[in-house]
Amino acid sequence: MTHTFHPTVLREYDIRGIIGETLGPDDARAIGRGFGTMLGEAGGKRVAVGYDGRVSSPMLEHALVEGLTASGMDVVRVGMGPTPMLYYAEASAEDVDGGIQITGSHNPANYNGFKMVFQGRPFFGADIQELGRRGAAGEWADGNGSVEDRDVMDAYVAKMLSALDGIEPAVLSSMRIGWDAGNGAAGPALEKLTAALPGEHHLLYTEVDGNFPNHHPDPTVEANLEDLRALVSAKSLDFGVAFDGDGDRIGAIDGQGRVIWGDQLLMIYAEDLLKRRSGGTIIADVKASRALFDHVAKCGGTPLMWKTGHSLIKSKMKEVSSPLAGEMSGHVFFADEYYGFDDALYAGVRLIAAAARLGQSVTELRGAMPAMVNTPELRFQVDEERKFAAIGEIAARIAASDAVADTTDGVRVTTDDGWWLLRASNTQDVLVARAESESQAGLDRLVAQIDEQLALSGLERGPQAGH
């Protein structure tokens, strides 16, 4: 028996497709067969499986479990919850060797997909391509594994609460916070978490609804934070926290309604962490502000710029023993007192802890940051076979000039005006551009340099591509 996947679903960091068009139960079964076979060959025996709140998730979970048990794996079903709860189930249990979460993340309601952990490390890139190869060849082990249900939510919430250990209770109990679960999978865990947290908490949209009736669950799009902003304003709250559809990416606003972007959150987390353990290497992706890298250095840490992509960042953290990393997209990874995976609920608790320990409100911490002028993430369509070649041409031209450039992931050029970035997306046929300056005039000059480099490669910054 063999299985061929639709060519668009086996992606760099995860597996994702459109239900009924490019992804269905046969794919889920084949993923279970392939993953179970690979884990068995590596000496693993037990896989934790969870799923998000999408309408199609229970169907895919059922088929995935069939595939895993048919290849000899024992399955621990942790039920519906955020992706980090599945990561927790895998990381905290000695008898679990791998994990798979069924989730469409922040994609539209008709999408779904899979995020995977293999013996404590991210399963991505060549691993995912190997699933496709094994499916096409029918290279699957045969077996008859068992299935058990395991409730991990209470233990998961208790672990997150431990981030507040040692902090004066009176400081915590004075905080007033808004939370927006966006009808995503984080809702039930958020209700349990906030019920146990000190302070006053106001919750939006914790009912799980895979149709996302209130707003799309992507907290990096400012329009999706409007309801949270209105709540914080109406109740005069200290700050607000929002989640994406599967709870692994955080968005935040301060008490004045200003967005605290991913790199700005990392500035707060880094300052708090480096006060307690100096000299750590703090990782951020190439889209992050120069202000972040400067701030990490000022606080006694070692800033490291790395490639965009949660799996790539997690791998780099292990390599350099980094206690903290983050991306502009809202993935934040804590490995100081936590497991090193991206968990937006835990990141919310750590924001409370940071404000308490630093003795400043989140609004004060946000207000102290340097005022930078930057573009949003500009994404534009480029043919798949052209995108990496174009970046290579641009890198070669920059290298031949006297410009200061970093080529960790695409090309990031630093000038007196600030910096600009061009990189190829690993998951879509788009180029991504971003620029940052201290003035609008400087930003205009940087964007002109981006346009000039694109033109020299026969491209233009035309229609914007969506996520």
- The total of other beta-carbon atoms located within 10 Å of residue 304's CB is 17
Give a yes or no: residue 467 inside a domain.
no
Residues 304 and 360 in one domain: yes
Q: pLDDT of 444-467, one tens digit each?
A: 999 999 999 999 999 988 666 544
Give a yes or no: residue 97 inside a domain.
yes
Quick one: pLDDT at residue 465?
53
Residues 271 and 216 in one domain: yes
Residues 115 and 217 in one domain: no
Give a yes or no: residue 115 inside a domain.
yes
Q: Which residues pair with 313 in a beta bridge?
A: none
Altogether, the residues listed in the chain come to a count of: 467
Vertex 342 angle, CA 275 and 116, to 5°: 150
Of the residues 86, 119, 151, which one is the last residue of a structural domain? 151
The separation between CA 57 and the C-alpha centre of its own chain, rounded to angstroms, equals 20
CA distance 311 to 321: 15
Residues 214 and 273 in one domain: yes
Give a yes or no: residue 9 inside a domain.
no
Give a yes or no: residue 466 inside a domain.
no
CA distance 176 to 120: 36
Global pTM reads 0.95
Residues 256 and 143 in one domain: no
Give a yes or no: residue 463 inside a domain.
no
Quick one: pLDDT at residue 467?
45
State which residues form the domain around 137: 15-151
Contact 437, 372 (CB under 8 A): yes
Q: What is the CA radius of gyration of the chain?
A: 22
Compute CA distances 237 → 173, 230, 255, whole Å: 13, 10, 6
Quick one: pLDDT at residue 134?
98
Residues 215 and 170 in one domain: yes
3-class SS string, the chain: CCCCCCCCCECCCCEEEEECCCECHHHHHHHHHHHHHHHHHCCCCEEEEEECCCCCHHHHHHHHHHHHHHCCCEEEEEEECCHHHHHHHHHHCCCCCEEEEECCCCCCCCEEEEEEEECCEECCCHHHHHHHHHHHHCCCCCCCCCEEECCCHHHHHHHHHHHHCCCCHHHHHCCEEEEECCCCCCHHHHHHHHHHCCCEEEEECCCCCCCCCCCCCCCCCHHHHHHHHHHHHHHCCCEEEEECCCCCCEEEEECCCCEECHHHHHHHHHHHHHHHCCCCEEEEECCCCHHHHHHHHHCCCEEEEECCCHHHHHHHHHHHCCCEEECCCCCEEECCCCCCCECHHHHHHHHHHHHHHHCCCHHHHHHCCCCCEECCCEEEECCHHHHHHHHHHHHHHHHHCCCEEECCCCEEEEECCEEEEEEECCCCCEEEEEEEECCHHHHHHHHHHHHHHHHHCCCCCCCECCC
User: What tokens were used for 320?
Assistant: 């350099």
Of the residues 343, 367, 391, which one is the last residue of a structural domain? 367
CA distance 27 to 32: 9
User: What tokens were used for 106?
Assistant: 């922040």
Q: pLDDT of 21-33, one tens digit each?
A: 999 999 999 999 9
Residues 410 and 323 in one domain: no
Phi, psi of 433 (to 5 degrees): -125, 150
Q: Going residue by residue through the chain (467 aa), what tens digit of pLDDT does each one get?
A: 999 999 999 988 889 999 999 999 999 999 999 999 999 999 999 999 999 999 999 999 999 999 999 999 999 999 999 999 999 999 999 999 999 999 998 888 999 999 999 999 999 999 999 999 999 999 999 999 999 999 999 999 999 999 999 999 999 999 999 999 999 999 999 999 999 999 999 999 999 999 999 999 999 999 999 999 999 999 999 999 999 999 999 999 999 999 999 999 999 999 999 999 989 999 999 999 999 999 999 999 999 999 998 889 999 999 999 999 999 999 999 999 999 999 999 999 999 999 999 999 999 999 999 999 999 889 989 998 899 999 999 999 999 998 999 999 999 999 999 999 999 988 788 999 999 999 999 999 999 999 999 999 999 886 665 44
Residues 430 and 451 in one domain: yes
CATH number at residue 397: 3.30.310.50
Of the residues 367, 395, 411, which one is the last residue of a structural domain? 367
Single out the catalytic residue among 56, 71, 105, 425: 105
Residues 65 and 83 in one domain: yes
Quick one: pLDDT at residue 429?
86
Contact 193, 351 (CB under 8 A): no
The separation between CA 408 and the C-alpha centre of its own chain, rounded to angstroms, equals 19
Contact 433, 378 (CB under 8 A): yes
Contact 248, 84 (CB under 8 A): yes
CATH number at residue 122: 3.40.120.10
Q: Are strands 332-334 and 324-326 parallel, antiparallel or unpaired?
A: antiparallel
Count of structural domains, the chain: 3
The separation between CA 186 and the C-alpha centre of its own chain, rounded to angstroms, equals 14
Residues 264 and 287 in one domain: yes
Percent of the chain with pLDDT over 70: 99
User: What tokens were used for 297?
Assistant: 């250095």
CA distance 289 to 267: 10
Q: Are strands 147-149 and 74-80 parallel, antiparallel or unpaired?
A: parallel
Contact 153, 188 (CB under 8 A): yes
Give a yes or no: residue 180 inside a domain.
yes
Q: pLDDT of 344-399, one tens digit each?
A: 999 999 999 999 999 999 999 999 999 999 998 899 899 988 999 999 999 999 99
Verify whether residue 361 is a known catalytic residue.
Answer: no
Residues 228 and 319 in one domain: yes
Residue 436's Cβ-side half-sphere holds a number of Cα atoms within 13 Å equal to 17
Give a yes or no: residue 233 inside a domain.
yes
Percent of the chain with pLDDT over 90: 92
The separation between CA 316 and the C-alpha centre of its own chain, rounded to angstroms, equals 15
Q: Is 20 left (phi over 0), alpha (psi -120 to 50) or beta?
A: left
Residues 321 and 362 in one domain: yes
CA distance 290 to 201: 33
